[in-house]
Amino acid sequence: MSLWESVALGLCSVSDVRVLTGVAEAVVSDADVESLIAFSDQQVEDDLGAQTSPAQTRVRHLSALVAAIKIFTRPDLRGGFSVGEVTVSNQQIEEALARWTRDVNRIYAFYGAAVQETPAAFKVV
């Protein structure tokens, strides 16, 4: 299966990730979000095992959260960003990352899986 086929069959969608982040396509392209979803899906499946389609809501949310963390930890977004009249500050990014990391930990705990990476590891994209 090619990368693009796996993205099409991903655990979450580009719009799932955009709903969490509020990041417009002008800031991060759909292709970049799809690539990050593919990485996130692989991480989730490595940690929890292969998932069936359609993914359970909790797994879909987990994949979207991991992708959102990867987006907000990109060096070009980490300090904050603006699009038109919308500005997201560094503090808002840090608060979102902390909230999403708690949600990721909660979902992994639900499945009885320990988070294998520290939140600092999410900073590498």
pLDDT digits (tens, 9 = 90+) for 16-57: 999 999 999 999 999 999 999 999 999 999 999 988 877 899
Q: Is residue 48 part of a domain?
A: yes
Q: Is residue 125 part of a domain?
A: no
Q: Is residue 7 part of a domain?
A: yes
Whole-model pTM: value is 0.82
Q: Is residue 121 part of a domain?
A: no
Note the helical H segments in 23-89: 30-48, 57-72
**Side-chain-facing half-sphere of 58: CA atoms under 13 Å:** 10
The alpha carbon of 39 is separated from its chain's Cα centroid by a whole number of angstroms, namely 9
Domain that holds residue 87: 3-116
Per-residue pLDDT reduced to its tens digit, 56-74? 999 999 999 999 999 999 9
pLDDT, residue 65, reads 98
How many folded domains does the chain comprise? 1
Q: Is residue 26 part of a domain?
A: yes
Q: Is residue 122 part of a domain?
A: no
More confident residue, 4 or 71: 71
pLDDT, residue 120, reads 46
Q: Is residue 84 part of a domain?
A: yes
Q: Is residue 69 part of a domain?
A: yes
